[in-house]
């Protein structure tokens, strides 16, 4: 059994625990010799995730919705639709949210969270420096899959937001600005949870992800990377390239499964909030919500 993920609830300051689901199968796949071959087949290909996504797009999958709401403790008062209005489970998973439930901080010196989830923040990360995020290793160069691009962000801050199964699975822009083209990178679908006990999972370097450069008004260019995970059928971009956007506008959404958003900033442009950095230094994530502050412009 995988222990729950411990994190800090930002609103209350309390320590909380997030249950890790499907741990039995994934622990077997990542930690045993017999499971390794199955793991290479399942996680190295998009086929299984796509098939799983298709099944959850059938009307039969609607039966999963009530139990999922109860098990995950989802607050349906934030959603403009009732559970019975969704045609299938995948539609429920990418459910909309009432904009009033996520007010967006308007101070231009503040960078807001682009999503609901659990955050880690690093005030400085060299392009080749590897950090351990649970059972995953991250380096900016491998994440961006481009040495010239990584060099332009070398030594800048990094914010990682992990979306759990119960979270709102849409990504929004953290500031006013102009988004560039979204480029697909990689092709695998490793699991995003802390399932591996004996090795490193190549989540940030091998998984399918979408990379775009957002030219923000207050923080300069930001590399925004959505990382798909096991059972994520696709990452859908909803913005128009080179069209100016306002902070809080929707950028993309994930279809079915836990997922992650990484933002990489250039040095001297942004400093993450002290509580996020402090909790990260203690090995803890911090819960954040779409639209709330996660850092400020450097003066």
Q: Which pLDDT belongs to residue 23? A: 59
Give whole-number Cα distances, 252 to 122, 248, 261, 269, in Å: 24, 12, 11, 24
Considering the chain, what is the average pLDDT of its residues?
A: 89
Query: Which residue of the set 49, 172, 175, 216 is catalytic?
Result: 172
Instruction: Please state which of the ranges 19-23, 67-71, 90-94, 160-164 shows the lowest mean pLDDT.
Output: 19-23
All domains of the chain, ordered by start, with CATH?
A: 109-297 (2.70.70.10)
145 catalytic? Reply is: no
Residue-wise pLDDT tens digits, 227-251: 987 767 689 999 999 999 999 999 9
Q: How confident is the model at residue 20 (pLDDT cuts 50, 70, 90)?
A: confident
Euclidean distance between CA atoms 13 and 44, whole angstroms? 38
Query: Which residue of the set 190, 259, 273, 287 is catalytic?
Result: 259
Residue-wise pLDDT tens digits, 76-113: 999 999 999 999 999 999 999 999 999 999 999 999 99
Helices (H), 190-257: 203-206
Structure tokens at 293: 């502050």
Q: How confident is the model at residue 206 (pLDDT cuts 50, 70, 90)?
A: confident
172 catalytic? Reply is: yes
Q: Which pLDDT belongs to residue 79? A: 97
Q: Does the pLDDT at position 252 exceed 70?
A: yes
Query: Which residue of the set 49, 61, 116, 212 is catalytic?
Result: 116
Q: Which residues pair with 210 in a beta bridge?
A: 184, 226
259 catalytic? Reply is: yes
Instruction: Please state which of the ranges 19-33, 46-60, 172-186, 257-271 shows the lowest mean pLDDT.
Output: 19-33
Residue-wise pLDDT tens digits, 121-176: 999 999 989 888 776 788 999 999 999 999 999 999 999 999 988 999 999 999 99
Q: Which pLDDT belongs to residue 168? A: 96
């Amino acid at each position: 059994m995988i222990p729950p993920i411990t994190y800090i609830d930002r609103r209350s300051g309390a320590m909380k625990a997030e249950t890790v689901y499907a741990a039995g199968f994934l622990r077997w796949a990542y930690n045993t010799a017999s499971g390794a071959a199955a793991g290479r087949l399942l996680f190295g290909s998009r086929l299984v995730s796509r098939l799983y996504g298709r099944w959850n797009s059938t009307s039969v999958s609607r039966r999963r919705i009530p139990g999922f709401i109860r098990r995950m403790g989802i607050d349906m008062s934030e959603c403009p639709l009732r559970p019975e209005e969704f045609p299938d489970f995948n539609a429920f998973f990418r459910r909309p949210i009432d904009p009033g439930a996520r007010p967006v901080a308007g101070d231009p010196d503040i960078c807001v969270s682009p999503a609901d989830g659990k955050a880690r923040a690093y005030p400085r990360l060299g392009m080749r420096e590897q950090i351990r995020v649970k059972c995953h290793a991250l380096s900016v160069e491998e994440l961006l899959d481009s040495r010239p691009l990584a060099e332009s962000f070398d030594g800048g801050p990094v914010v990682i937001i992990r979306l759990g199964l119960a979270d709102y699975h849409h990504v929004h822009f953290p500031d006013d600005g102009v988004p560039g083209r979204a480029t697909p990178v990689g092709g695998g679908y490793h699991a995003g949870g802390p399932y591996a006990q004996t090795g490193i999972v190549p989540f940030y370097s091998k998984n399918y992800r979408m990379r775009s450069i957002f030219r923000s008004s207050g923080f300069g260019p930001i590399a925004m990377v959505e990382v798909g995970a096991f059972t994520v059928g696709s990452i859908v971009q909803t913005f128009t390239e080179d069209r100016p956007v306002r902070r809080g506008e929707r950028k993309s959404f994930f279809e079915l499964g836990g997922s992650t958003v990484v933002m990489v900033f250039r040095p001297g442009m942004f400093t993450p909030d002290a509580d996020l950095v402090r909790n990260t230094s203690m090995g803890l994530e911090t819960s954040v919500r779409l639209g709330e502050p996660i850092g400020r412009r450097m003066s």
